[in-house]
């Protein structure tokens, strides 16, 4: 996640919601900007309580009382509802690690990888050549439920990670963990479970087991026959109760179970790492406030046990400093979450669905497209400023300047001489001139074109493997006045016949222009494609977007020929900026399709991929799928297509909404759609 100057970390706990807002000072330190602890009216483990409803109420209270919109938000999911798996990787090249990790994830995660969101982190010990990997995952069903709950109250998180990872990030930052830090066990004893995080020699290992504050409460319910709420209150007030000895005696079995599971976990970790040397336990979490718990664990584990009652690297001045100190032991997860939002984490595991991350990235980039559009409009308007100033100056003059009279007389004399010489014929006014003069009045069209480009690029990138498949190299538009046979002009550029042929139709005959007589705008995009099968990727991503957005209310044009795209693979000219055809020629719409241009066209019934020096593979065709859309082609080889630059062209018809051809409406020209022509 990109670095930010502020971030909210929110732990959705079973006992309370803990939220912490951190910021970075000018000196690079981390400071507390705000914090909140909202206890649930009843802990979520209370029998017969709907935990989702109770959580929704608490999150709604958080969103209504605090402004969370000004900074990124990072939230956690409990360790008991996620997976943390660890494995040693075989010796492989660094570039092969991702593939090996994916194989390990398939072996370690007890679900199909298509059903989970997962991420990983590698760990390297300076004393060992081995590389270990931690794999963190959560089911898509679980994460969708949490996202719906948050969005119901207007919260849109940027990061989701598992709680034990956040707790480790907090301790690693606050205690400044290094490879030389003594082996440390972090115990986060929560309401329903305990997260055990072992940090030793630069490695991390996590285990979650189902013992927490809820089990201490249940022990009191069974022993004293109390309601769950009364038993919970008795547990919290045990030290001040006159029956404290009986209360702790009732919870003794749970104390023993907690120590036993901790011993088992540490023993298992030592069996995996014979060189492990664990020296201390650091306790966090609300349940770790239980009196006597530290002393009991120290006796059973034979290790020093500390409770994190205050943080060493957080600063908070003012009257709330004491209040924050009272809840510090509960804030470790929120602390680690906010650090991840500030890009100051040790383990960077983000389980947000990839599609949502890409959408967020493109939403941030869209404003730059809008800025570019505004600058383009300002630049185009600047061309008319001088004319307007001069015209106003002339028309406002009460007496016509002498220089104008002289220029008019000279022009009249020259025209008379030309007519006598017989060099002038009947003057024909180009009909495009008045339409071109009217175009500046429709500059708002350009903003729609740029917005479409932004949405098209975002949609295509969302369908890619890494979210950054397309890079815009060049964006050109060309205005075609109405009534000029613009379709033919675009289909047969510069008067050529055959070869690349018409716009996106390959060897097929051109379909009739659905809006003859209306002005057109021809759009040309040069895009660099980073997919292994770039041509296939363009057809599978760009084409559906153009088809589904062809005719929309509120947009001053219709996208025509959207299912007849022309994709031309351009080769990068060595040592020069820009792109040229093989042989050093600049690309143009009239490049013949004899194999030298590497043109690829998609049309009605199919068309050929023409091989050439661009690295295209010959003999591949495109055919119609059962839905009428082009089926994705399967070239014989994709060699040479990585990082290819393609030219994508489509046309916009400037047609009022009430004159458009739509399903169920009669054709204004009386022609049958899809006729013989």
Q: Inform me whether the pLDDT recorded for 200 exceeds 50.
A: yes
- Per residue in 618-667, pLDDT (tens digit) is 333 333 333 333 333 333 334 444 457 888 888 888 888 888 887 655 44
* C-alpha–C-alpha distance, residues 163 and 81, integer Å: 10
Helices marked H in 34-96: 51-65
In order, the DSSP letters of 171-194 are HHHHTT--TTSPEEEEEEE-SS-E
Q: Inform me whether the pLDDT recorded for 83 exceeds 70.
A: yes
Assigned token pair, 181:
């830090």
pLDDT of residue 358: 56
- C-alpha to C-alpha distances, 62 to 162, 195, 213, nearest whole angstrom: 21, 25, 24
- C-alpha to C-alpha distances, 267 to 204, 262, 296, nearest whole angstrom: 15, 9, 18
Long-range contacts of 172-178 (CB under 8 A, 24+ apart): 172/199, 172/346, 173/30, 173/313, 173/336, 173/339, 173/344, 173/345, 173/346, 174/311, 174/312, 174/313, 174/314, 174/335, 175/282, 175/312, 176/313, 177/346, 178/202
**Angle at CA 179, nearest 5°, toward 177 and 182?**
70
- Per residue in 225-247, pLDDT (tens digit) is 999 989 988 998 887 778 888 99
* C-alpha–C-alpha distance, residues 404 and 318, integer Å: 77
- Residue 404, classified by CB atoms within 10 Å of its CB into exposed (0-12), middle (13-18) or buried (19+), is exposed
- Tell which CATH architecture fits domain 6-352: 2-Layer Sandwich (3.30)
* C-alpha–C-alpha distance, residues 608 and 619, integer Å: 7
Q: Inform me whether the pLDDT recorded for 95 exceeds 80.
A: yes
Look up the pTM and report it.
0.56
Assigned token pair, 52:
């989702």
* C-alpha–C-alpha distance, residues 324 and 331, integer Å: 9
Task: List b or e across 142-161, with b for residues whose CB sees 16 or more CB atoms inside 10 angstroms.
Answer: bbeebbebbeebebebbbbb
Q: How many CA atoms lie within 13 A of 93 on its CB side?
A: 2
pLDDT of residue 627: 33
- The residue assigned the tokens 């919260």 is 155
Of 601, 576, 570, 395, nearest in space to 507 by CA: 601
Q: Inform me whether the pLDDT recorded for 601 exceeds 80.
A: no
* C-alpha–C-alpha distance, residues 480 and 596, integer Å: 28
For 506, phi and psi rounded to 5 degrees? 55, -125
In order, the DSSP letters of 281-340 are EEEESGGGGSTTHHHHHHHHHTSEEEE--S-SSEE--STTHHHHHHHGGG-HHHHHHHHH
Catalogue the E-assigned strands of 506-638: 520-529, 558-560, 566-572, 579-580, 599-601, 607-608, 621-622
* C-alpha–C-alpha distance, residues 315 and 464, integer Å: 43
Going from N- to C-terminal start, the domains of the chain cover: 6-352, 440-659
Element housing 23 (H / E): strand 16-24
CA distance between the termini of the chain: 54
Average pLDDT, the chain: 75
Choose between 81 and 94: higher pLDDT. Answer: 81
Least confident piece of the model among 119-128, 177-186, 326-335, 500-509? 500-509
- Per residue in 525-560, pLDDT (tens digit) is 888 888 877 877 888 888 888 888 888 888 888 988
pLDDT over 90 for what percent of the chain? 32
* C-alpha–C-alpha distance, residues 585 and 568, integer Å: 14
* C-alpha–C-alpha distance, residues 22 and 166, integer Å: 14
pLDDT of residue 581: 31
Residues sharing a CB contact under 8 Å with residue 623, sequence separation 6 or more, in sequence order: 605, 606, 630, 631
| DSSP 8-state assignment for residue 630 | B
**Angle at CA 280, nearest 5°, toward 276 and 281?**
110
pLDDT of residue 91: 81
Residues sharing a CB contact under 8 Å with residue 254, sequence separation 6 or more, in sequence order: 211, 215, 216, 219
- Per residue in 496-534, pLDDT (tens digit) is 333 333 333 333 344 677 888 888 888 888 888 888 778
* C-alpha–C-alpha distance, residues 114 and 85, integer Å: 17
- Residue 33, classified by CB atoms within 10 Å of its CB into exposed (0-12), middle (13-18) or buried (19+), is middle
Least confident piece of the model among 29-38, 301-310, 546-555? 546-555
- Per residue in 469-500, pLDDT (tens digit) is 788 888 788 888 776 544 444 443 333 333 33
11 in Cβ contact with 334 (< 8 Å): yes
């Amino acid at each position: 996640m990109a670095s930010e100057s502020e971030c909210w970390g929110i732990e959705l706990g079973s006992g309370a919601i803990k939220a912490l807002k951190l910021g970075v000072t000018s000196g690079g330190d981390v400071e507390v900007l705000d914090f909140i602890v909202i206890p649930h009216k009843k802990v979520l483990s209370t029998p017969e309580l709907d935990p989702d409803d109770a959580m929704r109420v608490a999150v709604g209270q958080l969103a209504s009382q605090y402004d969370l919109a000004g900074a990124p938000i990072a939230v956690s999911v409990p360790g008991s509802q996620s997976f943390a798996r660890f494995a040693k990787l075989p010796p492989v090249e660094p570039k092969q690690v991702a593939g090996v990790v994916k194989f390990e994830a398939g072996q370690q995660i007890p679900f199909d990888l298509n059903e989970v969101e997962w991420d990983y982190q590698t760990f390297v010990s300076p004393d060992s050549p081995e590389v270990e990997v931690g794999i963190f995952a959560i089911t898509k069903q679980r994460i969708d439920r949490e996202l719906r709950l948050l969005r119901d109250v207007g919260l849109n998180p940027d990061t989701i990670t598992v709680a034990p990872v956040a707790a480790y990030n907090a301790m690693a930052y606050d205690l400044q963990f290094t490879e030389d830090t003594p082996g440390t066990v972090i115990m986060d004893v929560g309401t329903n479970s305990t997260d055990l995080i072992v940090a030793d020699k630069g490695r991390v290992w996590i285990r979650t087991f189902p013992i927490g504050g809820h089990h201490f409460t249940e022990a009191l319910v069974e022993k004293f026959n109390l309601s769950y709420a009364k038993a919970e209150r008795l547990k919290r007030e045990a030290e001040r109760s006159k029956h404290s000895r009986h209360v702790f005696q009732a919870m003794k079995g749970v104390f023993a179970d907690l120590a036993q599971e901790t011993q088992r976990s540490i023993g298992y970790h030592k069996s995996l790492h014979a060189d492990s040397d664990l020296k201390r336990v650091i306790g966090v979490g609300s349940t770790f406030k239980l009196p006597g718990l530290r002393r009991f664990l120290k006796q059973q584990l034979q290790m020093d046990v500390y409770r994190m009652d205050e943080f060493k690297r957080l600063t908070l001045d003012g009257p709330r400093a004491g209040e924050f100190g009272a809840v510090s032991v509960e804030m470790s997860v929120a602390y680690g979450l906010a650090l991840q939002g500030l890009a100051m984490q040790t383990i960077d595991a983000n389980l947000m669905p990839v599609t949502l991350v890409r959408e967020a990235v493109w939403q941030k980039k869209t404003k730059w497209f809008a800025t570019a559009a505004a600058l383009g409009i300002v630049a185009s308007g600047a061309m008319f400023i001088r004319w307007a100033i001069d015209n106003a100056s002339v028309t406002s003059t009460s007496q016509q300047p002498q220089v104008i009279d002289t220029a008019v007389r000279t022009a009249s004399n020259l025209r008379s001489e030309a007519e006598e010489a017989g060099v002038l014929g009947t003057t024909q006014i180009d009909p495009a001139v008045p339409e071109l003069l009217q175009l500046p009045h429709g500059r708002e069209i350009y903003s729609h074109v740029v917005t479409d480009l932004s949405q098209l690029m975002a949609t295509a990138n969302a369908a890619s493997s890494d979210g950054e498949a397309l890079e815009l190299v060049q964006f050109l538009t060309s205005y075609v006045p109405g009534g000029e046979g613009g379709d033919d002009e675009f289909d047969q550029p510069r008067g050529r016949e055959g070869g690349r042929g018409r716009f996106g139709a390959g060897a097929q005959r051109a379909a009739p222009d659905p809006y003859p007589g209306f002005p057109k705008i021809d759009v040309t995009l040069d895009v660099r494609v980073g997919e292994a099968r770039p041509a296939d990727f363009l057809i599978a991503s760009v084409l559906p977007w153009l088809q589904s957005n062809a005719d929309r209310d509120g947009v001053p044009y219709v996208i025509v020929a959207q299912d007849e795209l022309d994709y031309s693979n351009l080769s990068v000219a060595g040592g020069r900026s820009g792109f040229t055809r093989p042989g050093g020629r600049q690309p143009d719409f009239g490049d013949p399709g004899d194999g030298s241009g590497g043109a690829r066209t998609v049309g009605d019934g199919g068309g050929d991929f023409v091989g050439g020096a661009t690295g295209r593979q010959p003999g591949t065709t495109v055919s119609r799928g059962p839905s009428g859309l082009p089926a994705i082609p399967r070239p014989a080889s994709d060699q040479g297509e990585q990082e290819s630059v393609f030219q994508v062209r489509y046309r916009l018809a400037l047609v009022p909404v009430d004159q458009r051809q739509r399903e169920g409406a009669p054709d204004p020209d009386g022609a049958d759609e899809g006729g013989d022509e």
